[in-house]
């Protein structure tokens, strides 16, 4: 028996990268039914589709992992739709769940935010108290602000209606099953694809965006899923909680690490005319450890080996060339 035994769980984004890992873990832990709607069946930016989704799933627990996401390039091309779609999905879903919480048995709502919500020049390590101390990095501010608005909504709904909503801030994720699409992938899958394709084509150089100086923190997808489930089981509070590894690496050092994992022996070239993104990212991860006993456990070298192996085993035979890689 686990806390999940017999529960009905709705995981929005449950067929995606992170959501599919969460869904698998829920099924193994004895959830009575796990509902992972597809966007072609339920457009969560539409209130009527959200209602249909909840009618079909009748959840005890909702994990809102759906999001419209991408790296710097995608955010620069689609700032309006990134804001609109992420805000609408969360607003419609939270409101509909709030109305059902008393009539039905919905007892917990877990919302995934984004590290992009933090101010551009947040002191390192990022503490949850710093969320409102400045404007996000400009290239992904619309996305970050849309997701951060959902934290305000959940806190307001908890105060006014007693709605049990929890807000988590995952750092950049990576792992098997990641998005390797050249137009929308984040930095690790984009690098993996570029290095593998360069190795196979016999090229001696790969060009990356920026100057390599920004730092980032990454979390293996399996660890992130464990953190989400731990929070759902053991944390019911208004304060947001970071989910991360607590380890910082420069984009330059990351590129060298990924290059080796992908078996590419050529040079790295940096296109300094392209944006770096936020200068530094590393989270204070103490709150999650203290409030619900979770911490990351997968070493990066191991996680990268698994991710490269997955990409080489599952990619299409005729893939489009990888896009320029940036800090994300």
Question: What 8-state DSSP symbol labels residue 129?
Answer: G
d(CA 68, CA 6): 31
Cα torsion 268, 272, 277, 280: sign: positive
Helices 17-28 and 221-234: angle between axes, nearest 10 degrees: 60
d(CA 241, CA 229): 13
Beta bridge partners of 174: 220
Please calculate the CA angle 179-58-53 and round it to the nearest 5 degrees.
50
Q: Could you tell me if residue 214 is left (phi over 0), alpha (psi between -120 and 50 degrees) or otherwise beta?
A: beta
d(CA 318, CA 18): 25
Contacts 24+ apart (CB under 8 A), 230-233: 230/288, 230/292, 230/293, 230/294, 231/110, 231/166, 231/168, 231/288, 231/291, 231/292, 231/294, 232/61, 232/63, 232/108, 232/110, 232/166, 233/3, 233/4, 233/292
Query: Whose structure tokens read 């990619």?
Result: 315
Catalytic site positions: 143
- How far CA 113 is from CA of 33, 64, 201, 243, in Å, comes to 25, 9, 38, 10
């Amino acid at each position: 028996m686990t806390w999940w035994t017999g529960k009905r769980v709705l995981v929005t984004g449950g067929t995606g990268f992170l959501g599919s890992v969460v869904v698998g873990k829920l099924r193994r832990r004895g959830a009575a039914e796990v509902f992972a709607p597809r966007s072609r069946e339920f457009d969560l930016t539409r209130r009527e589709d959200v209602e249909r989704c909840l009618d079909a799933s009748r959840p005890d627990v909702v994990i809102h992992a759906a999001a419209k996401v991408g790296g710097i390039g995608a955010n620069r091309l689609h700032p309006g739709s990134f804001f609109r779609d992420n805000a609408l999905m969360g607003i419609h879903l939270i409101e509909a769940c709030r109305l059902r919480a008393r009539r039905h048995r919905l007892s917990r709502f877990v919302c995934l935010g984004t590290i992009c919500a933090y101010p551009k020049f947040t002191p390192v390590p990022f503490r949850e108290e710093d969320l409102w101390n400045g404007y996000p990095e400009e290239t992904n501010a619309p996305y970050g602000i849309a997701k951060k608005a959902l934290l305000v909504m959940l806190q307001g709904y908890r105060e006014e209606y007693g709605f049990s909503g929890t807000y988590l801030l995952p750092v950049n994720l990576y792992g098997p099953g990641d998005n390797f699409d050249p137009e929308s992938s984040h930095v690790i899958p984009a690098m993996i694809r570029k290095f593998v394709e360069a190795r196979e084509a016999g090229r001696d150089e790969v060009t990356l965006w920026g100057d390599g100086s920004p730092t980032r923190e990454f979390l293996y997808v399996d660890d992130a899923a464990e953190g989400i489930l731990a929070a759902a089981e053991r944390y019911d509070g208004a304060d947001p909680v970071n989910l991360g590894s607590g380890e910082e690496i420069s984009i330059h050092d990351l590129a060298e690490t990924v290059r080796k994992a992908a078996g590419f022996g050529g040079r790295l070239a940096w296109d300094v005319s392209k944006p770096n993104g936020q200068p530094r990212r590393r989270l204070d991860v103490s709150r999650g450890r203290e409030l619900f006993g979770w911490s990351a456990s997968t070493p990066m070298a191991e996680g990268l080996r698994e991710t490269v192996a997955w990409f080489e085993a599952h990619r299409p035979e005729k893939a489009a060339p990888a896009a320029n890689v940036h800090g994300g």
